[in-house]
Structure 1
Amino acid sequence: MTENLDKEYLLSSRKRRIAAFLIDHFTITFLIVGIVFLLLGTDFMDENNFSNLITKMLPAMLVGFLLYFAKDSIKGISPGKWVMGIMVRDEKNPTEVPSIGRLFLRNLFLIIWPVEFIVLASSQEKKRLGDKTAKAIVVKNPNKPTKMPRILALVGIGIAFFTFTILFTGSAMKNSDAYKVAIIEIEQNEEILSEIGGIKDYGMMPTGSVNISNGYGEAQLEIKVLGNKKDLNVSVYLTKEPNGEWKLIELNK
């Protein structure tokens, strides 16, 4: 069996395994965060009841964890392993994929990932605790796709993550009550209107933060105001009391 493994299924390097783990972690985290954001909606910044947020987030988190631990269920190959050209196989028969139950058990050990990394780094067999418990090995995929599709897939995941995060965060910021009050204050500020020659529009992505805790709110926003004569970046600081409205504390340009 060792001779067969040496000839056809070479053990994966530790570097490839760690890279695959990081890609999987990033990809599944992106998926979980995306689902959570969609469930919360773009008005989640104005939610005062923390338990309501948890109730909305919990289903997505549970599904996410199930996906995380079952990530190798399709032919022993997770997204990260597909990109890195490796796969999970039965240690006694490298031509066979371990059962879904064994694959799931193997990934449960990732909960203690620092320990798993130490064990993998020190193991002569290139195994972590999950591998030993599930009696599995990680080998190079002899039928892996060419390098270009795998690189493009990795780049695509990264672009999708940052694009979604930026667009959703910007949309959520614009839907917050704090942003709406800030816009009203800007449009009533005669000094700003005179300087820019009237307001045409606002920048697509306001920056800053909106925080609400126990009904108390604090918002620090940087808003780009597009004017007829010139554009202007306006910094706005607002606060709110429980059951109260947002109030302008400071406005700088």
Structure 2
Amino acid sequence: MQIPVNQKFRLLSMLGEHISMCIIGVPLMGLSLLTHGNWGFYFVLVLYLNKDFLNGRSPLKRLLNTQVQQTTDVPANEWQCFLRNTTLIIWPLEVLVVAINGRRRLGDYLANTHVANVSEDIGSWKKELAAYRVTSYTFYTLLATGLYLLLVHTLFDWLGF
């Protein structure tokens, strides 16, 4: 059984994930504004929603030797990783939930997942990518990502952004 990360580590890693996505996102969004488009926002949104796509591990989770896992301690599939990241629009509330309950955020409850420490010998991203096989979860995730983008775009149009 893998050991779930502690509360302090979880909060700091959530902040680290958010900062790393902002480091990628801000220049892309600025570039898209210069080209009179909003493609940068949607590109970053796709990255954020699917950052844990490969074996439940984002780049930061790989550095920290952690992984998104199902509550049965096996790596979360693509769909679960996407589902847990759909709550990014309420990110401050997510932080509050972890601060109160310790380890799981709302997205984890939604997807029935948690973040756990894993051994360093889990494999490199290159090996994981080479071993990756498309499943039905891959298609569900891609379809859901497109629908999520459409909903966000519609909401922003409705709000006048």
The TM tier, using the shorter chain, reads 0.5 to 0.7
Where does residue 138 of structure 1 map in the other structure?
115
Where does residue 59 of structure 1 map in the other structure?
39
1:129 and 2:129 matched: no
- Partner AA of 1:141 in structure 2: V
TM-score (norm 1): 0.44
Counterpart Cα distance in 1 of 2:69 and 2:84: 12
Counterpart Cα distance in 2 of 1:123 and 1:37: 36
The 1:133–1:39 alpha-carbon spacing in structure 2 relative to 1, beyond 3 Å, is closer
C-alpha deviation, 1:10, in angstroms: 0.7
Counterpart Cα distance in 1 of 2:40 and 2:7: 31
The 1:33–1:136 alpha-carbon spacing in structure 2 relative to 1, beyond 3 Å, is same
C-alpha deviation, 1:109, in angstroms: 1.4
- Partner AA of 1:10 in structure 2: I
Whichever of the two has the greater Rg, that structure is 1
Counterpart Cα distance in 1 of 2:99 and 2:28: 34
1:13 and 2:6 matched: yes
- Partner AA of 1:86 in structure 2: T
C-alpha deviation, 1:118, in angstroms: 2.0
TM-score (norm 2): 0.66
Instruction: State how many pairs are aligned.
Output: 122
The 1:37–1:101 alpha-carbon spacing in structure 2 relative to 1, beyond 3 Å, is same
Structure 1 counterpart SS, 2:120: coil
1:76 and 2:56 matched: yes
The 1:117–1:39 alpha-carbon spacing in structure 2 relative to 1, beyond 3 Å, is closer
The 1:36–1:141 alpha-carbon spacing in structure 2 relative to 1, beyond 3 Å, is same
1:1-253 equivalences under 5 Å are 5=1, 9-39=2-32, 44=34, 55-56=36-37, 58-92=38-72, 94=73, 96-123=74-101, 126-143=103-120
- Partner AA of 1:26 in structure 2: I
Counterpart Cα distance in 2 of 1:137 and 1:14: 12
**Contact 2:30 2:40 (8 Å CA) reproduced:** no
Higher strand share: 1
- Partner AA of 1:77 in structure 2: R
Q: Which runs of 5+ in 1 are unaligned?
A: 45-52, 146-253
Counterpart Cα distance in 2 of 1:100 and 1:139: 17
Counterpart Cα distance in 2 of 1:22 and 1:123: 17
Q: Which runs of 5+ in 2 are unaligned?
A: 123-161
Higher helix share: 2
C-alpha deviation, 1:144, in angstroms: 6.3
C-alpha deviation, 1:119, in angstroms: 1.6
**Greater RCO (CA < 8 Å, at least 6 residues apart):** 2
**Contact 1:89 1:136 (8 Å CA) reproduced:** yes
Where does residue 246 of structure 1 map in the other structure?
none
- Partner AA of 2:69 in structure 1: R
C-alpha deviation, 1:68, in angstroms: 0.5
Aligned-residue sequence identity (percent) comes to 28
- Partner AA of 1:109 in structure 2: T
C-alpha deviation, 1:39, in angstroms: 4.3
